[in-house]
Amino acid sequence: MKVTLDLDKLLHEGKITDSEYAKFSELSAQTLGSLAFNILIGFGVIAVSGASLALIPTAATAMVIGSVILLGGLIVLHKHSQQWLVLANICTLIGALMAGSGAIAHFEGSAYVILAVAAFFTLASYLSKSALLAVLAVLTLSSSIGAQTGYFHASYVIVIKEPAITVVLFSALAVGLYQLSKILKPDDERIALIAARTSVFIANMGFWVGSLWGVRNLEYKVVIPSEAFAIMWALALLATGIWAWKRNRRWVVNTVAVFGGIHFYTQWFEYLDATPETVLIGGTLALLFAYILKTMNEKLKSSDM
């Protein structure tokens, strides 16, 4: 357990003695020095890896270098050396990213390879107890069905090519991960819950895109109107919100509130357009929603999900 203390304030208030102040200050300096040393070596690892990749710029090189760095990070992690913990985490993350991206580039973005990389990130997340790699595993899985992000001239883009599949797949994944978290150890439970939260986010993105454009797959003769997505999204948010409220799941309640607001205003301005009147009413409602959300949070206790 980590605790942050203001030593100067504690000394001034007389809650610690001068000798305790000196002792804690020395321990703090040692920890800070170790952290700085880990970060410095981490930057060195990144620099050497980048230079090696620049000398032999191939996807296979990235896979090999990434695998070696990942293996080194995992070995240090499993030796339980607190002194090198930060460096080990840096190596694990950088190595997994290099190896995974190298594999995707080498096989030209094949959907099967993307699925394999998602499984690879999942395994690396389990071995390293890295929540960030768990998030990357879920995001990589979404890219196997066409999910993308982009940027051009002050514009950010999120692409969901298969809204219906995205909603079904990641809703099921979120529920499955949540159920799985109940039988896992605390460290693994935390990772499963974070992956479940990422799945909830992606499922809502699928609903959002579907509520605007629907699904029109002429190849498989599947047509789902945007209105159907809008109704299903509203019902899903309502059911999830009620479940989260009854089980005291603050994160889920807040997420439902955020996406509920996005859904409401998306449909509001989609059908009523952005006029001074609609903006005024919408802003007033936003203040009301914010007050309701604040009141709900005060009644909820902190929870893991």
| pLDDT the model gives residue 75 | 86
Contact criterion met (CB below 8 Å) for 146 and 165 = no
Question: Is the pLDDT score of 5 beyond 90?
Answer: no
Question: Is the pLDDT score of 202 beyond 80?
Answer: yes
Between 289 and 76, the more confident residue is 76
Question: Is the pLDDT score of 293 beyond 90?
Answer: no
Question: Is the pLDDT score of 234 beyond 50?
Answer: yes
Between 177 and 55, the more confident residue is 177
| pLDDT the model gives residue 2 | 52
Contact criterion met (CB below 8 Å) for 305 and 178 = yes
CA distance 226 to 66: 43
CA distance 58 to 65: 11
Size of the chain in residues: 305
Question: Is the pLDDT score of 28 beyond 60?
Answer: no
Q: Which residues contact 240 (CB under 8 A, 6 or more apart)?
A: 252, 256
Select from 162, 136, 132 the least CA-distant residue to 147.
162
Tokens 């990589």 correspond to 140
Query: In the predicted model, what is the mean pLDDT of residues 95-100?
Result: 86
Question: Is the pLDDT score of 134 beyond 80?
Answer: yes
| Average pLDDT in the chain | 78
Predicted confidence band of residue 9 (pLDDT cuts 50, 70, 90): low
pLDDT in tens, 61-80: 888 888 888 888 888 877 76
Contact criterion met (CB below 8 Å) for 72 and 48 = no
The distance from CA 165 to its chain's CA centroid, rounded to whole angstroms, is 20
| pLDDT the model gives residue 85 | 72
DSSP 8-state assignment for residue 58: -
SS3 for 61? helix
| pLDDT the model gives residue 303 | 47
Dihedral sign (CA 240, 241, 246, 247):
positive
Between 150 and 166, the more confident residue is 166
Predicted confidence band of residue 275 (pLDDT cuts 50, 70, 90): low
Predicted confidence band of residue 30 (pLDDT cuts 50, 70, 90): very low
Dihedral sign (CA 201, 144, 93, 43):
negative
Contact criterion met (CB below 8 Å) for 228 and 283 = no
| pLDDT the model gives residue 118 | 92
